[in-house]
Each structure stands twice: as C-alpha cells, then as structure tokens.
A and B are shown apart, each in its own frame.
Chain A
Amino acid sequence: MVEVTLWGALGQLAGGKTKVEIEAKDIRELFRKLAEQYPAFEPWIDKGIAVAIDGTIYRDTWSKELPQGAEIFLLPRLAGG
C-alpha cells in the first residue's frame, strides 16, 4: 500500500481528497488502479501525469517501482524550454 498525494486539480476530481491509498507496485499499476477508482482521472493520465517518487520526478518510466513507504506525489506534466 502506498500513499499518493494529488495536486489540486486532481484532488478536485477525487472529490476533494488530497491523498489516496493504493496498492500498487509500480507507476503502471498505480495509474491503472487510479483510473479504476476515479474514472475522471483517465483523460489526465492520457495527457500525461508526472510521478515524484521521493522527490525525483518520473514522466514516462511507468515501470518504475514504488518502494514501500516512499513519498509518492502526482504532478502535472510540464514543459521546458
């Protein structure tokens, strides 16, 4: 079980929650289960959500494991210059 912190816009879609608990071993499973629980997340996941695992931001590495006790933070996918 990992605790996942949502950013504002996503939190609104989850009925105002800022944190959700999900049983997931990696980012792929996390997204799959989030989409199951919160269908409104699906278009956001398609557009791209970044996942910060203990402070490091992952944008596309969906195979990245979610260690027990790690701090998981969802963030919008950003652009650079």
Chain B
Amino acid sequence: MNFDPRFSGRQFKSVGTRPIRPDGVDKVTGRARYGADFSMAGQLVGRVLRSPHAHARIRGIDTSKAEQLPGVKAVITAADLPDLTNGDAAMFDILDNCMARTKALYDGHAVAAVAAVDARTARQALKLIEVDYEILPHVTDVDEAMQHGAPLINDAIFTEGLEEKPVKPSNVSKRTQYGHGDVHEGFGQADFIVERSFKTEQTHQGYIEPHACVANVSSDGTADLWVCTQGHFVYRQHCAQLLGMEASKLRVTSSEIGGGFGGKTHVWAEPVALALSRKAGRPVKLVMTRDEVFRASGPTSATSIDVKIGARKDGTITAAEATLRYTSGPYAGMWAEIGAMTAFACYRLDNVKTVGYEVLVNRPKTAAYRAPSAPMAAFAVESAVDELAKELGMDAVEFRIKNAAQEGTRSSYGPVYGPIGIGPTLEAAKDHPHMKAPLGKNQGRGMACGFWFNFGGQTCTDLNIGMDGSVSLAVGTVDVGGSRASLSLVAAEELGIDYSQVKAIVADTSSLGYNDMTDGSRGTFSSSMATISAARNAIKILRERAAQTWDIPVDDVVWEKGHAIARGEKYGNLAALSLKEIAAASGKTGGPIAGHSELVADGAGVSFATHICDIEVDPETGSTRVIRYTVVQDAGKAVHPTYVEGQYQGGAAQGIGWALNEEYIYGKDGRLQNAGFLDYRIPVCSDLPMIDTQILEIPNPNHPYGVRGVGETSIVPPLAAIANAVSNAAGVRMTHIPMSPPRILAAIEAEREG
C-alpha cells in the first residue's frame, strides 16, 4: 500500500490526537489480566529444574523419587519432548533450549520439569530429581570463545561463510561481510584515522513481568494456551511443531503483556507447560521466577568490536571498517550480521567494510532486544566518529551532517536509500535549545545517531460493525505499548467516525488469520495497514447497503465523514445516511457488515534518530548523573503522539541503563552472579531526568498515512551518546559498556597517571 497523497498536508481528524487507550481503565484498576493472572479449575503448578553448571554432559536423570512424592502429577525431561523438528536446525535449537538433551549449555538451562498440586510440592519434587552431570570446561567471554583451544560448545558447528570450508569445528558459527568500495584505498586518502576497540556486556530486556503461561492439553488432542507473548500465532506454530500437534488444535490466547522488548518473541516455558499438561492430564500454570528470567531467557549479545574510520581534512569520511563479534549463546545466531549491516547505516560512504562473527558461548540463547544488535555497533562507530571529529577540529554535529546518508545514498548494507530522516534529525538536534544550554562543572555533552530497519510482516485484521453503529476491531498483533489506541484511531479516521465508537481487541489464534509477531517495530505500522484495508472493505459494503436502501447504483454513492452520500444533483433530495443508520438497518439489507483484511505489510520505512545528553561525572568516584536528555526521531507519521513519545522515552531509558550500569556478571565458575533486579541495575525513577522528545514526520512512501515503525530506533543512539558525554565530561574515552563507576574511575586514574 503506497502513501496516499490525499494525506499530504491534510489535517487528520483522529490520527495525531491523543485519546485515552481502550485498555486503560482495566490497567489502572488492577483488572487487566497478564500472564500469571489467569487460572483454571484443577490447575497444577509447573516448575523447571535448571542446570547449575555452565557446561555439562547429562549422563542421566533419575526422576523416580520425584514421581513418588505425593502431589506430583507429572515429571518430564527431554525424553518427553522428543525431536520432531525434522532437520530444521533453528527449531531444534529452540527445542534444545526449552529442555536440554545431551548437554546443559549454560547456567540456568532447563533439564527437567514437574507439575504438582502446589508450589511447595513442586519445589520439593525438583530437589528429588537426580541429574548425573559430567562437568565440562566452559567459556563465557566472546573473545576467549574465539581463541584457539577454547572449550568447544558444539562440535557439529563449522564456521559458515569462510572462503574455504573449515575442517575443524569452531565456536564461530558464521562469518558475514558487508560493504562496498575499497577501504584500503579509502584509508590511503585519509588525513586522519581513528582506530579503536570496544566491548559491550550482555544485557537483558528486563521486562517487569516474568514469563507466564497456563497450558491445558485435552485428551481429545486439542489444547489451549494462555500466555504473555509478543506473538501468539508464532508461539502456536512453534509449540505445535515441537509437540507434534496440528496448529489448528492449539488455541493460543495472548494475555496482556507486561513488557517484551523482543524477549517474548521466543518460546521457553510454553512447550514445557504443554508437555507437563499432556502428561498430567490437567491444566498446568508455569510462571518463571525473576531469577529464572535472568538465567534462562533472552539476553542480548555481549560484543567485542574494532572500528577504523578515516577522513580528509575537510571532514569527508574516506573509509570505514569494523569487525564485530557477537555472542549468540550456545546456539548459532545472526546477531553479528545485523550489527555488521547497521553499523555504518547513518553515513554516506564510498568505501566501507564490516565483518561479523557469530560466537557461541555458555550463556543463555541470545534473543532479540529492541533493534537487536544495532546499539552495540552504534556505540563503537559513533564513539569513533566523535573522536575523529575532535581530531579534525570539527563540531560533532557538523561532522555528522557533512557525512550523513541521504536519499540516493548507497547504504552500508547494500541497497540505495529512498527518502530518509537522518539529515533532518541531525539538523533538528543542531537547532535544539539543548545544544546551546550551558554546562556545569564536571558535566559533558554527547550526541549520537542511530538507525534501525523496521519490519512489516503478515497481518490479518477484522473490523465488525455492530447494529448500534459501534465498531469492534480485532487485530492479531499483540499490543505492547498502546497500539490498540492507535489502531482504533486509524479505524476511526478511515470510517470518518469518532474514536469513542471504535474498540480494538487482540484476537486469539482461533479467531483470526495468522499474524507475525509484534516485533521489528511493526505493530502499529502493519496492523494499521490491515485496518485501513479492512475499513475500506467495510466502506464498500456500507456504500452498497446505502445504494440498496436508495435503490441507486453503488457507483453513485460516496463515503464522506462517516456518511454515505448520493453523489449527483439527481439525488439532491436524498439525505446522507450515517454509519449508524446503515448499521441499524443492516439486518434488512443483507446482514452484518464487516471488513476483513489479510496482507503482507512490507515496506516499513527505515528509521533514524539523533540523541543529545548531558552527563555529570564525579571525578573522585566515577559516579555519573544524567542531567538532561533529548530524543529526536523520525516517526513517519505519529498516529498517537503520546505513545510515540513513550516509545522514544522508554528506548532512551533502556539505553541509558545499558550504557551505565546493566550487565550480566559471570563468575569464574560460569554462573550468573546477578540474576535479580538488586544487582542487575535497571534505571530507577530517581536515576533519570525528564526525557525530552521531538517527533519528526517524514512520510514513509509505503504506508497510506506515511507511518514508519517507532518502537526500536530509540535504543540505538544512547550507548554512544552517553559514552561521548562521559568522555567529554571526564576527559577520557570510554570503550567498555556499561560505564559503571569502577570502570570510569579506573579510566580517569589511568589518564591521570598517563
């Protein structure tokens, strides 16, 4: 669906307003039901036994004592989840991650599970399961895992993407390369070159709601799953495949979701809960503890990145190169590849080369986290860009403006850009009052840019018009941050009715056709396209019904401002029919009125952001304080600007946490030391200032209203923006994220001592 020129400069009626969300009252009164808030009669409590070892062969599991404990109704191991993946390597990894088979591959890897009448019995049963482990050497650090002689995690993995097929297995599952031009030649033209190595530690999405589900497998082969997820249709496919069920017999209902950020795009506990329920013949509720969430669910990659950028005296970048190593957990991934694609996406480069290495380590399987892989690459690149600007004696913003990608630029990942927003966000940042505000003692200002692709995907939507003229909109993309409000606005806009007449809900997998996940910033982008299409289909029927009522040709009926209007002077005496009137008469004009839509919402617009921040550093302790923060980002079109601001602010806050304090800390024994919110330090309210936002609207040519995705890009610039600010405040270049106080103090001391 292309941009509808009718909307250029047009005043929208509903889109762009800020009404209260349809699910709001339930959420402020405690009535909204999340993953753990649903229960079934006779339900059992499921609990998972997890490996305490980072790497161990499972020689045997004896569940007999647990099975004999009164109140225990089922105990399962990998044997109860046999391999039905049929050679699909990605699905096998998901299965093995849900329940370890021959080896436990990280601290927290599930090895068995129980269902019992209550939590206490389930906990006791776990203690009675005897696992015979043969402890193996482990590796958790990305650089160490790549070294010769590092403990090998999977001897069936041979590095893909090498010129010659390797003869020995490796912890590097893949090498990828992107770029164009000749970087060697480019560096030859450079007057200044900056070359640096960076490291970033592994972080977690940190959603406040732990994974939770209720599984109910019936003896007739059908099953229900209630679950907090970003994609219930995808969960259905995966669970059905892993359990050997027909997808149509598994009905998955997505609960309200208490945060996902990419971390709820992957099944963990759900196949286990279904297998427990199947074995016990009763419903099973499985809720992860916070400790389990950190140890066993979706962290992002830890990385090690080398960057080299060269420029001429006039400030033109002549060449840019990066080598990116990303951990993927103990399974193959494509995270470094995304880093390699996004690293230099903001710039217009004649010579660019990026190489990515996917590295297996004994850590949890890496899952997507908001613009996955892009923040780390941006941290390395934007730090080096800042440093290069300093060497050139150029202003950091001017240097970026001079080299910014624009329409027609060949992107560093290959294709040529259409209309894009990097230039405008930089210009807006340059003109922002924040840039000119005075700084206090020990304070520094930093800025950085970020890029994310944004995705669309398969989408299906139903729009039903009630006899009272109200509209219910059933969508299949899970609402993670207010999309029911924005989609209701879109339906109201198209139909020409008031927002209050529309109510959007998220339908279950048996009530609507397949939908891809809410990921890739696609929720509002994709479902609004499907909603527009469904509304237009409904309007066609509304016009037909009006034509029938008036007994005139349907081509003479137009739809305007929520009314059918007979066009032409000959119909001068026909009063317009409102949607409500047509709906009320629908029983006599052909029955219910609905619009349906199923489509692939491709063509999401790439998105850029520029962030500015001020940081104060205590030079005696390395402590930091965020003084001021500003986000400038292109939204294409902001459907519900308040929730767009919310996405900008939330992404920035997550990035701030990542930049300053969040990290997985592993002991020498390979065990995670900080599997809780006490020592995995996400920002608290008093850590942050207000986060100012500026929404730019550069229409996406592939969406009728110009919408781009907005959810992810905001987490890309903060790591670099803060690193640049800290470096400016403390006078030292910070190359290791998070910039925790001990790291900052050590850097300051090292600089002092020269």
Contact = CB atoms under 8 A, between A and B. Distances in A.
**Chains A and B form a bound pair:** yes
B453 A81 contact: no
Nearest to B300: A81
Nearest to A8: B177
A57 B315 CA distance: 31
Contacts of A52: 414-415
Interface in B328-345: 334, 337-338, 341
Contacts of A8: 161, 176-178
Given A9-B176, A80-B371, A75 B414 contact: yes
A45 B82 CA distance: 28
Given A59-B456, A64-B602, A54 B712 contact: no
B408 to A, nearest CB: 9
B513 interface: no
A58 B458 CA distance: 11
A53 to B, nearest CB: 8
B455 A59 contact: yes
Interface string B561-603: 0000000000000000000000000000000000000001011
B600 A7 contact: no
A37 interface: no
A80 B522 contact: yes
B453 A78 contact: yes
B334 A76 contact: yes
Interface in A26-81: 47, 52, 54-61, 64, 71, 73, 75-76, 78-81
B520 interface: yes
Interface string A1-31: 0000101110010000000000000000000
Contact of B416 (A57, A71, A81): A71
Nearest to B298: A81
B372 A81 contact: yes
B347 interface: no
B178 A78 contact: no
B702 A81 contact: no
Contacts of B262: 80-81
Contacts, number: 101
Contacts of A59: 455-457, 600, 602
B107 interface: no
B160 interface: yes
Interface residues of B, number: 49
A80 B455 contact: yes
A9 to B, nearest CB: 5
Contacts of B457: 59-60
Query: Which of A5, A7, A56, A79 has most B Cβ within 10 Å?
Result: A79
Contacts of A61: 600, 602
Interface string B440-457: 000000000000111111
B453 A12 contact: no
A59 to B, nearest CB: 6
Given A60-B600, A79-B368, A7 B178 contact: yes
B265 interface: yes
The interface residues of chain B, by DSSP majority, are classed as loop
Contacts of A80: 262, 368, 371-372, 452-455, 519-522, 712
A61 to B, nearest CB: 4
Contacts of A7: 176, 178, 414
A4 to B, nearest CB: 11
Contacts of A60: 457-458, 600, 602
A60 to B, nearest CB: 4
A80 B205 CA distance: 13
Contacts of B205: 81
Contacts of B416: 54-55, 71
Given A56-B418, A60-B602, A79 B519 contact: yes
A24 to B, nearest CB: 17
B363 interface: no
Contact of B702 (A5, A9, A56, A73): A56
B418 A54 contact: yes
Contacts of A79: 265, 334, 338, 368, 372, 519-520
Contacts of B418: 54-56
B548 to A, nearest CB: 33
B740 to A, nearest CB: 24
Given A8-B161, A58-B602, A58-B603, A81 B415 contact: no
Contacts of A47: 90
Contact of B370 (A5, A78, A81): A81
Contacts of A73: 414-415
B261 interface: yes
A9 B455 contact: no
Interface in B411-462: 411, 413-418, 452-458
B219 to A, nearest CB: 35
Nearest to A59: B602
Interface in B256-283: 260-263, 265
B198 interface: no
A80 B522 CA distance: 9
A81 B603 contact: no
B664 interface: no
A76 B520 contact: no
Interface string B627-660: 0000000000000000000000000000000000
A51 to B, nearest CB: 9
A55 B520 contact: no
B228 to A, nearest CB: 16
Contacts of B413: 75
A26 B417 CA distance: 21
A74 to B, nearest CB: 9
B603 A9 contact: no
B369 interface: yes
B699 to A, nearest CB: 13
Contacts of B519: 79-81
Given A9-B176, A80-B262, 6 more contacts: A5-B414, A8-B177, A52-B415, A60-B458, A81-B261, A81-B519
23 contacts: A7-B178, A8-B161, A8-B178, A47-B90, A54-B418, A55-B416, A55-B418, A56-B602, A57-B415, A57-B453, A57-B455, A57-B602, A58-B603, A59-B456, A60-B600, A60-B602, A64-B602, A73-B414, A80-B371, A80-B452, A80-B454, A81-B520, A81-B711
Which 4 residue pairs of A and B lie closest in terms of their CB atoms, listed nearest first? A80-B520, A81-B262, A52-B415, A81-B370
